[in-house]
Amino acid sequence: MKIRSQFNLEELNKVMLTKRARLWLGLIAAVSLLSLASSCGGGGNTNTEETTTVKAVPTKDAGTITGKVSFTGTAPAPVKIDTSADNNCAKASPNLTSEEWVIKDGKLANTFVYIKDGTLADGTKIGDYTDPAPSSAVTLDQNGCHYKPHVLGVVVNQNISITNSDQTTHNIHFMPKNNPDWNQSQVAGAPAMTHKLTHAEVLAPVKCNQHPWMKSYVGVMKTRLFAVSGEDGSFTISGVPPGKYTVAAWHEGGATGTEQKVEVTVPANGSATADFSFGASAALRGQPSSLPMMPALEVPMMGRH
C-alpha cells in the first residue's frame, strides 16, 4: 500500500513535469511564431506598411539639375474625347482632348524626370539613400472628368490626397506593378481620400473605372530627386548633392512608355543641364517591335552657372 502510494506520487510528479514542460514548449512556440510574423511584416501582407530605413540624401553643397524636354518632328494631334456617356462630364468638359502628348512650341509636358543612378562626390551611391516621406500630401484632383495633374511624383509612403471636384462619381484605380492594386469610388461632394504607395515604381498608371479616357501616372521614388516637365518642357531638380548621375526622363508615349537617359555631373553648389528630346519613335504607339528604335541616349549638356 505504501509502495503503491509512493509509486503514484512519482507518477503524479512525472505527469506534472510533462504538463509544465508542455506549457513551456507551447509558450516558446508561441513566442517564436510571433517574432517570425513580425519579421515577415510587409512581405506577405501587401496592406502592411513597409518600414523603410531612412537615410536622407545629403544637402551639403547641393546643386540643381535643370533642363528642357522637347518633341522633335510632327507633333501628334490631340484627339477629341467623347464624354457623352456621362452628362456631367459632357457639360463640364465639352472639349476634352487626349493628354498623351501635350506639346507646345516643340516642348513636351508631363515628362517624369528623375535621378536613376549615380555616385556622390563622397563616393556613396545615390541608390543607397532613402528620403523620409514629406508630411505634406500631393493632391490628385478629378476635375472636369480628367486628372489634375496628369503626371505626378511622390516619395515612397507620401500621402496622395484624392479629391473629386466634379458633380459625378469617379472610381479611381491605381494599377501599379510593385504595389497593391487599389480602387475606390468617390461620389460628388465626398471628402478627399488618401492613398499611398509603399514601394518605388516608375510609373504607376491610374485610371477611372467610370470614365475609360481618364488616365494619370504616379512616379513613386525613394528620394525627392525628381520633377515633372511643365507646359514649356522645363524642369528643375533641386537639392542635388555634388556627384555624377544618370538622369532619366520617362514619358507615357509608346506601347509601354519611353525612357531616355543622360549623364550629368553636378558640381558643388552648382548646376548641370540635362536636355531630352522625344520624337517620332516614341509616338509610334502599338507599332510592331521589329521597327528600328531611335537611340535613346542623348549627348549630355553640362554647364556651370
* Chain positions contacting Cu ion, by CB under 5 A: 170, 208, 210-211, 214
Which of residues 183 and 234 has its CB atom nearest to Cu ion in the complex? 183
Could you tell me the three cell numbers for 48?
A: 502592411
Which one, 167 or 246, has the nearer CB to Cu ion?
167
Torsion of CA 121, 249, 55, 58, to 10 degrees: 40
CB count in 10 Å sphere of residue 112: 26
Closest-by-Cβ residue to Cu ion is 208
Residue indicated by cell numbers 517591335:
289
How many Cα atoms sit within 13 Å of 288 on the Cβ side? 3
Task: Work out how close the CB of 214 gets to Cu ion at its nearest, in angstroms, rounded to a whole number.
Answer: 5
Take residue 246 and report the three cell numbers written for it.
Answer: 544618370
Minimum CB distance to Cu ion, residue 148 (Å): 12
CB of 195 to Cu ion, least distance (A): 16
Measured from the CB atom, the residue of 139 and 281 that comes closer to Cu ion is 139
Compute the half-sphere exposure of residue 126: CA atoms within 13 Å on the CB side of its CA.
25
Closest distance to Cu ion from the beta carbon of 166 (Å) = 7
Identity of the residue, 208 or 227, whose beta carbon is nearer to Cu ion in the bound complex: 208
From residue 23, how far is each of 12, 19, 33, 36, 274 by CA, in Å?
16, 6, 15, 20, 66
CB of 207 to Cu ion, least distance (A): 9
State how far the alpha carbon of 89 is from the alpha carbons of 93, 191, 199, in Å: 6, 20, 33
- CB of residue 149 to Cu ion, shortest distance in Å: 16
* Cβ closest to Cu ion, residue 55 vs residue 173: 173
User: Do 79 and 285 meet the contact criterion of CB atoms below 8 Å apart?
Assistant: no
| CB nearer to Cu ion: pick between 214 and 218 | 214
Q: Measured between alpha carbons, how far is 256 from 177 in angstroms, rounded to an integer?
A: 13
